[in-house]
Chains A and B, each alone.
Chain A
């Protein structure tokens, strides 16, 4: 096990830094149901970290704990080595942790460009009065934000639908717009909840390529949840495996491939 502050270089030449976020003994209950049971793991700077597991394993709950939508009963979240106080989801977002949702949460009534621009809301500083007069700083800020948004739109290859209302888009493109909105806030950690759920093979390949490109080009730390084992093995640097709210594996893709508990959880165990 590497020291939490040491960085290393991967086979494909990316530098993975020290630990940016650590989950310590997280337990989350809904009434009598234990969704997450005493789970600890960490996320390193610049890596692609996957959380996998069968249906109902508590993966989405875990992501919701990180992004502040759920508050765990026990355990703590360490961000940059410091325990994070209990936070509302919008405060977590303001800290630079962006996310997407399993069921897509976009502003359906707005255009793609407007949706992406909302991702810059936290980067806008000038006060109401300055905006009202629309001069100097406010104007410059708007131009900057717009440039950032257009850059991300180009990057994710959605220029052709910039002015289209989101409600009219097909599912695969919506997922990509959601990624754009999360990405435009220049997050230090990007949380993706099943970015490839419900996609066909071609769309999955596109999305995988975008995730790798984002990580490569912007150095964004990515934590993602995914069902598709093949995709996860190809994409991620390290993987956490959950089953019935417990952690049953944690390591590199090859570690996970050879982990008996994981194989049992996915393929079922012969009871004799």
Chain B
């Protein structure tokens, strides 16, 4: 087999796995957008915040230590205990549910029926607020996140491919774990929204508020639930990216990578978010591999956006988005 093709296969596999992570972030957007029509700009910051909270809880950091020390003249930083990863994850989920409740109660409940652009502006405000609170609560240092996920080259794949192609593929164990978890999460979400009572109520709310009320669905409850689920998805994304490249501000920027994914997949489609993520992940890696050297590299920075732009021109509703039909 020609060497180039073998390389391309490795690049393809790595692209698929990067795509899964993009899909994970995009999924958080789709959930909230479907149920409430809000494009949640804060999704990326939610991923950052949840990862920071997870690290903080695991290390036994005192929340708001900086503020406490400044006011009381004390010098506390740590409680002096560490929390096992699983328990810390459960506690972080609780924090994200609390966050969902607060967001609904103090912001979006007062904005029901407002223009989409106003709701969007509110999420921008929310993003900066949450970023500030995160730094204040857990300080802004770059943190290492280790919840015990395996990392490093997968030896089995390496030796297996070496035997076949005379060239060992480099596949990171973390990417494999991320793919499996993302697949489970996506499957779970699809089953949840199609078959559970709450999922059915969620689809009802997404479709028509008045009708949902008339069959006895509490809008408030559904919105809190959706924001909680989005918070949970953000946490999963935060764990994956945080483990990969440390918990730091740039983590919140992965949300921007989710935008082209959404344009490709459609803002209202869960399968669309997955397929869109995979296309972007594979596309940008293969493009860099094949075309990158000719144009001086760094194509990964813009490839996704240009692809999304082309899509916008020819299929504005995305691959799986609901068709836009204007009746006259």
**Contact across chains for B207 and A107 when beta carbons are under 8 A apart:** yes
- The CA-CA distance from A107 to B206 in the complex, in Å, is 9
Q: Which of B57-65, B164-172, B209-217, B257-265 contacts A (4 or more CB under 8 A)?
A: B209-217
**Contact across chains for A122 and B216 when beta carbons are under 8 A apart:** yes
- Pick the contact of B211 from A91, A106, A126, A131 — CB < 8 Å? A106
Residue B197 lies at the interface, judged by CB distance under 8 Å to chain A: yes
**Contact across chains for B197 and A121 when beta carbons are under 8 A apart:** yes
Instruction: Given A118-B200, A131-B195, check contact A108 B208 (CB 8 Å).
Output: yes
Residue B93 lies at the interface, judged by CB distance under 8 Å to chain A: no
- The CA-CA distance from A105 to B196 in the complex, in Å, is 22
**Contact across chains for B200 and A93 when beta carbons are under 8 A apart:** no
- The CA-CA distance from A126 to B214 in the complex, in Å, is 21
Which B residues between 112 and 141 are near A, CB-CB below 8 angstroms? none
**Contact across chains for A93 and B215 when beta carbons are under 8 A apart:** yes
Number of interface residues of B (CB under 8 A): 23
Residue A221 lies at the interface, judged by CB distance under 8 Å to chain B: no
Number of interface residues of A (CB under 8 A): 33
Question: Which residues of chain B come closer than 8 Å to A152, judged between CB atoms?
Answer: none
Q: Which of A73-81, A94-102, A202-210, A247-255 contacts B (4 or more CB under 8 A)?
A: A94-102
Residue B218 lies at the interface, judged by CB distance under 8 Å to chain A: yes
- Pick the contact of A89 from B195, B203, B207, B213 — CB < 8 Å? B213
Instruction: Given A128-B196, A134-B195, check contact A107 B204 (CB 8 Å).
Output: yes
Question: Which residues of chain A come closer than 8 Å to B195, judged between CB atoms?
Answer: 131, 134
- The CA-CA distance from A108 to B197 in the complex, in Å, is 19
Of chain A, the residue at the smallest CB distance from B213 is A89
Residue A117 lies at the interface, judged by CB distance under 8 Å to chain B: yes
The total number of A-B Cβ pairs within 8 Å is: 79
Distance in angstroms from A63 CB to nearest chain B CB is 11
Main secondary structure of the interface of B (DSSP, over half): helix
- The CA-CA distance from A91 to B218 in the complex, in Å, is 8
Instruction: Given A107-B204, A110-B203, check contact A99 B214 (CB 8 Å).
Output: yes
**Contact across chains for A124 and B215 when beta carbons are under 8 A apart:** no
Q: Contact mask A47-75 → B, CB, 8 Å, 1/0?
A: 00000000000000000000101000000
Instruction: Given A93-B215, A128-B196, A131-B195, check contact A121 B201 (CB 8 Å).
Output: yes
**Contact across chains for A88 and B218 when beta carbons are under 8 A apart:** yes
**Contact across chains for A131 and B207 when beta carbons are under 8 A apart:** no
- Pick the contact of B200 from A88, A106, A121, A182 — CB < 8 Å? A121
Residue B322 lies at the interface, judged by CB distance under 8 Å to chain A: yes
Residue A181 lies at the interface, judged by CB distance under 8 Å to chain B: yes
**Contact across chains for B216 and A121 when beta carbons are under 8 A apart:** yes
Distance in angstroms from A116 CB to nearest chain B CB is 10
Q: Contact mask B208-248 → A, CB, 8 Å, 1/0?
A: 10111111111100000000000000000000000000000
Question: Which residues of chain A come closer than 8 Å to B212, judged between CB atoms?
Answer: 90, 107, 118
**Contact across chains for B197 and A118 when beta carbons are under 8 A apart:** no
**Contact across chains for A105 and B216 when beta carbons are under 8 A apart:** no
Distance in angstroms from B33 CB to nearest chain A CB is 14
Determine which residue in A67, A118, A134, A181 has the highest number of CB atoms from chain B within 10 A of its CB, and name it. Answer: A118
**Contact across chains for A94 and B216 when beta carbons are under 8 A apart:** yes
- Pick the contact of A105 from B191, B197, B211, B217 — CB < 8 Å? B211
- Pick the contact of B210 from A101, A117, A181 — CB < 8 Å? A101
Question: Which residues of chain A come closer than 8 Å to B322, judged between CB atoms?
Answer: 109
Q: Nearest 10 pairs between A and B by C-beta?
A: A93-B216, A105-B211, A107-B207, A89-B213, A124-B197, A122-B216, A105-B210, A131-B196, A94-B216, A90-B218
Q: List 14 A-B contacts (CB under 8 A).
A: A67-B214, A88-B213, A90-B216, A90-B219, A98-B214, A106-B211, A107-B203, A108-B207, A109-B207, A117-B200, A122-B215, A124-B197, A132-B196, A181-B215
